């Protein structure tokens, strides 16, 4: 469709004219602008909603909201075209078969070998070995070898050695969807462990001997402690309501030596609504500070984030400081349980704060234990009530921790944002389906590529320059502040307003420091070469001076490379931006070029969001954000001859 206008969210004056293309996998908008032909690519799988709004004199507006928090507003001149686009998008964004998803057609030009290598990057057996299991207390159980006991669990599950197959099967029958207690994290230092399961089918009075034995076995696997915590991550009221349906929670009287604890994390529906409310705040055109803070509070989002963190902190403390094992569950044990277990693991074990370790953590607590990626993130057309930002919340918890512990994580914010992006993109096979079983049946590993390999390949982009493996912050357990600390939780504009570059800091400390570190490394290398040459020269002065000419060549090359590098080191490329700025109309021009786009180049490198990477540090800011109380533009010479009030007061 031609002559489509792409509107700027903040200023109607900034619309650009272009052509809209629909392909099998992407929506593409190409600007008419002669020099740049700026392109905006959006994957169909990223689109969460398409809204056709009332036709105006200018045409028919179409609002596209994406799961990575991008919002695109288009105006299509012909109502009929708009309708066609709308209908096509509705169909294209709601695939019914996995095979329609992008990962089955996406080809990063790797051969079979490389693809296999990619999938092997994260190996859970290796991970459990790293934790120290199997050992005297824990072993792999083979009851679920062909998903015979629980179809949402992996085939290899670690259980206490004293738990026989009989106990496991018996316990599984007493648990929602047969998700019996299994090992999530084992603490080598003190034998304490984190186990996970679903809720027991206790109703008002039912009990199950095998389940009680199972918990007993978990306690015995930690000889240093005479009880275990059972943490129900639901609000007490929700758990009690479940009893009426024959489900519920453990009765302390029936289980010997447990301490039972509720931690009120709300369910997926509450979380979905909360995010919705927060995004509405993010989308406000020019909110006042009060609008924003009030909306943020009203959404409850940060409160929920804190609840998840608090649960993780509680568990990490029980394991690290008290040396007590913990069994965690919610209802089905695949949402809140996954959040809480992974936050606790992250706090406990520095390995999970490395890039590789973080991949392993997601693979362990989310992918393998049957977090329902397909349902939660709406990859296939399904029940909208199943959709909920469960893993988004976990990712935000990690970001909040990164803000409090700037040196503790090997990766940076960009890493988190790209993972979030790909959880929804369906470009890689990692997060397809609802369980390991389904993925196996689809032969995901043979037909798609692994995200982890892709991220690993580009790991230089994701490094946190402040991370040093021998730094004290990278050792041992993290202890976030738990006393009144609401103020430590901040709105993450880098995620939820990530496509509005104008809102973010214009210079990135991370990028600057990475450039410095890179230069440092080259200096180290040069230093070595120089020292070597010096030594040679001194030797040669004693006699042999044949090698000299060769070395001179080398020195020339080196000199060149370092000077290039020091250029790359100065973080001020935005002078170009300023030059191209039309001097008289601040509200029209400039804008960070890469703000909204996923360019084709980036797609080729199969990383659709390197725009975040090439951070254009524009010195110029969109005026309309700056003067929200008015029209966002200075009155032009002729517009305001007489009126006493300037346009700025309009608001």
Partner 1 sequence: MEFAELIKTPRADNVVLHRPFHAAVEGTLCLTGHHLIFSSRSRDNAEELWLLHCNIDSSEKRFVGSLGTITIKCKDLRIIQLDIPGMEECLNVASSIEALSTLDSVTLMYPFFYRPMFELVEDGWCSFLPDKEFEQLSSVTDEWRLSCINRDFSVCPSYPAVVVVPKSINDEELRRVAMFRQGSRFPVLSYYHRKNGMVMMRSSQPLTGTNGRRCKEDEKLINATLRPGKRGFIIDTRSLNVAQQARAKGGGFEQEVHYPQWRRIHKGIERFNILQESLIKLVEACNDQSHNMDRWLSKLEASNWMTHVKEILTTACLAAQCIDREGASVLVHGSEGTDSTLQVTSLAQIILDPRCRTIRGFESLVVREWLQAGHPFQQRCAQSAYSNSKQKWEAPVFLLFLDCVWQILRQFPCSFEFNEQFLIMLFEHAYASQFGTFLGNNENERAKLKLPQKTMSLWSWVNRTEEMNRFKNPIYEANSLVIWPAVAPQSLQLWAGVFLRWNRPSKYLDEAQEEMVRIIKYNKELQDKVKVLRRHLAELEEDEGMREN
Cite the active site residues.
Answer: 330
Least Å distance, CB 509 to partner 1, is 5
Of residues 306-345, those binding partner 1 (CB under 8 A)? 306
Q: What kind and span of H or E run contains 456?
A: helix 451-457
Using the contact rule CB under 8 A, the part of the chain among 83-91, 149-157, 228-236, 638-646 near partner 1 is 638-646
Of residues 176-205, those binding partner 1 (CB under 8 A)? none
Rounding to the nearest 10 degrees, give the CA dihedral for residues 263, 264, 270, 273: -90
Give me 334's structure tokens.
């695949």
The residue among 266 and 365 lying less far from partner 1, judged by its C-beta, is 266
> Was 602 annotated as part of a binding site?
no
Give me 39's structure tokens.
């392109």
Using the contact rule CB under 8 A, the part of the chain among 32-40, 193-201, 495-503, 591-599 near partner 1 is 495-503
Residue 513 interacting with partner 1 (CB under 8 A)? yes
Least Å distance, CB 266 to partner 1, is 13
Residue 469 interacting with partner 1 (CB under 8 A)? no
Residue 290 interacting with partner 1 (CB under 8 A)? yes
The residue within the footprint of partner 1, chosen from 302, 316, 398, 432 (CB under 8 A), is 302
Burial category of 109 from C-beta neighbours within 10 Å (exposed 0-12, middle 13-18, buried 19 and up): exposed
The residue within the footprint of partner 1, chosen from 276, 493, 576, 580 (CB under 8 A), is 493
> Was 336 annotated as part of a binding site?
yes
How far apart CA 456 and CA 463 sit, in angstroms, is 11
> Was 638 annotated as part of a binding site?
no
The alpha helices in 195-288, defined as continuous H runs, are: 209-220, 236-243, 268-283
Give me 392's structure tokens.
């988004």
> Was 211 annotated as part of a binding site?
no
Residue 646 interacting with partner 1 (CB under 8 A)? yes
- Three-class secondary structure of residue 72 per DSSP: strand
How far apart CA 46 and CA 26 sit, in angstroms, is 9
Q: What kind and span of H or E run contains 358?
A: helix 355-362
Give me 168's structure tokens.
């496991």
Residue 578 interacting with partner 1 (CB under 8 A)? yes
How far apart CA 529 and CA 521 sit, in angstroms, is 13
Angle, vertex CA 613, rays to CA 610 and CA 619, nearest 5: 125
Using the contact rule CB under 8 A, the part of the chain among 67-75, 216-224, 227-235, 537-545 near partner 1 is 537-545
> Was 331 annotated as part of a binding site?
yes
Residue 289 interacting with partner 1 (CB under 8 A)? yes
Residue 124 interacting with partner 1 (CB under 8 A)? no
Least Å distance, CB 503 to partner 1, is 5
Q: What kind and span of H or E run contains 159?
A: strand 157-160
Of residues 264-283, those binding partner 1 (CB under 8 A)? 282
Of residues 346-375, those binding partner 1 (CB under 8 A)? none
Give me 315's structure tokens.
């568990």
Residue 627 interacting with partner 1 (CB under 8 A)? yes
Give me 11's structure tokens.
């200023």
Least Å distance, CB 552 to partner 1, is 8
Question: Would you tell me how many other CB atoms lie within 10 Å of the CB of residue 547?
Answer: 13
Under 8 Å between Cβ of 49 and 65: yes
Residue 300 interacting with partner 1 (CB under 8 A)? yes
Least Å distance, CB 277 to partner 1, is 13
> Binding string, 397-436, against partner 1, x = CB under 8 A?
-------xxxxx----------------------------
Of residues 34-73, those binding partner 1 (CB under 8 A)? none
Give me 540's structure tokens.
């040669």
Least Å distance, CB 638 to partner 1, is 11
The residue among 400 and 436 lying less far from partner 1, judged by its C-beta, is 400
Secondary structure string (H, E, C) spanning 587-609: CCCCCCCCCCCCCHHHHHCCCCC
Binding site, annotated residues for substrate:
267-268, 330-336
């Amino acid at each position: 469709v031609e002559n489509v206008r792409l509107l700027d969210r903040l200023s109607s004056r900034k619309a650009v004219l272009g052509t809209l293309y629909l392909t099998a996998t992407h929506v593409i908008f190409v600007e008419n602008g002669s020099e740049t032909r700026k392109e905006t690519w959006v994957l169909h799988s990223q689109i969460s909603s398409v809204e056709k709004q009332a036709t105006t004199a200018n045409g028919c507006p179409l609002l596209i909201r994406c799961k990575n928090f991008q919002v695109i507003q288009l105006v299509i001149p012909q109502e009929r075209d708009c309708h066609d686009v709308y209908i096509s998008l509705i169909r294209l964004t709601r695939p019914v078969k996995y095979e329609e998803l992008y990962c089955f057609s996406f080809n990063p030009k790797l051969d079979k070998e490389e693809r296999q290598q990619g999938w092997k990057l994260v190996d859970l057996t290796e991970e459990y070995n790293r934790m120290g299991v199997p050992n005297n207390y824990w072993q792999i159980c083979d009851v679920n070898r062909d998903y015979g006991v629980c179809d949402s669990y992996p085939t290899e599950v670690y259980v206490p050695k004293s738990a026989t197959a009989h106990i496991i099967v018996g316990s599984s029958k007493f648990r929602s969807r047969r998700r019996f207690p299994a090992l999530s994290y084992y603490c080598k230092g003190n034998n304490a462990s984190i186990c996970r399961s679903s809720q027991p089918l206790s109703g008002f009075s039912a009990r199950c001997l095998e389940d009680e034995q199972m918990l007993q076995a978990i306690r015995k696997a930690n000889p240093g402690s005479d009880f275990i915590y059972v943490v129900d991550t639901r609000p007490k009221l929700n758990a009690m309501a479940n009893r009426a349906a024959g489900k519920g929670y453990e009765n302390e009287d029936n289980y010997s030596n447990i301490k039972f604890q509720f931690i009120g994390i709300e369910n997926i529906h509450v979380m979905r609504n909360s995010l919705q409310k927060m995004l509405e705040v993010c989308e406000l055109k020019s909110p006042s500070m009060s609008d924003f803070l009030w909306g943020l509070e009203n959404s409850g989002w940060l409160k929920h984030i804190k609840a998840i963190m608090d649960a993780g902190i509680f568990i990490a403390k029980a394991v690290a400081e008290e040396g007590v094992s913990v069994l965690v569950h919610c209802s089905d044990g695949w949402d809140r349980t996954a959040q809480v277990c992974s936050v606790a693991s992250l706090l406990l074990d520095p390995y999970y704060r490395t890039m590789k370790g973080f991949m392993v953590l997601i693979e362990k607590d989310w992918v393998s234990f049957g977090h329902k990626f397909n349902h939660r993130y709406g990859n296939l057309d399904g029940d909208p009530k199943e959709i909920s930002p469960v893993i988004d919340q976990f990712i935000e918890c990690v970001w909040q921790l990164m803000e409090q512990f700037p040196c503790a994580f090997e990766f940076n914010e960009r890493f988190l944002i790209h993972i979030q992006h790909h959880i929804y993109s369906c470009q890689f096979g990692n997060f397809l389906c609802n369980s390991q079983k389904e993925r196996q049946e689809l032969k995901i590993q043979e037909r798609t590529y692994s995200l982890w390999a892709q991220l690993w390949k580009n790991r230089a982009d994701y490094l946190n320059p402040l991370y040093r493996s021998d730094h004290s912050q990278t050792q041992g357990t993290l202890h976030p502040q738990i006393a009144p600390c609401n103020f430590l939780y901040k709105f993450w504009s880098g995620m939820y307003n990530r496509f509005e570059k104008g809102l973010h800091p214009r210079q990135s400390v991370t990028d600057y420091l990475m450039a410095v570190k890179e230069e440092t490394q080259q200096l180290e290398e040069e230093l070595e070469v120089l020292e070597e040459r010096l030594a040679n020269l001194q030797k040669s002065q004693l006699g042999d001076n044949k090698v000299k000419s060769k070395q001179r060549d080398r020195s020339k090359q080196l000199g060149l490379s370092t000077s290039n590098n020091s250029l790359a080191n100065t973080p001020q490329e935005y002078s170009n931006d300023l030059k191209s700025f039309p001097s008289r109309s601040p509200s029209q021009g400039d804008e960070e070029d890469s703000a909204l786009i996923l360019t084709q180049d980036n797609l080729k490198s199969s990383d659709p969001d390197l725009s975040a990477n090439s951070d254009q540090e524009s010195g110029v800011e969109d005026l309309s954000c700056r003067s929200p109380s008015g029209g966002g533009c200075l009155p032009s010479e002729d517009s305001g001859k007489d009126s006493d009030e300037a346009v700025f007061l309009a608001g």
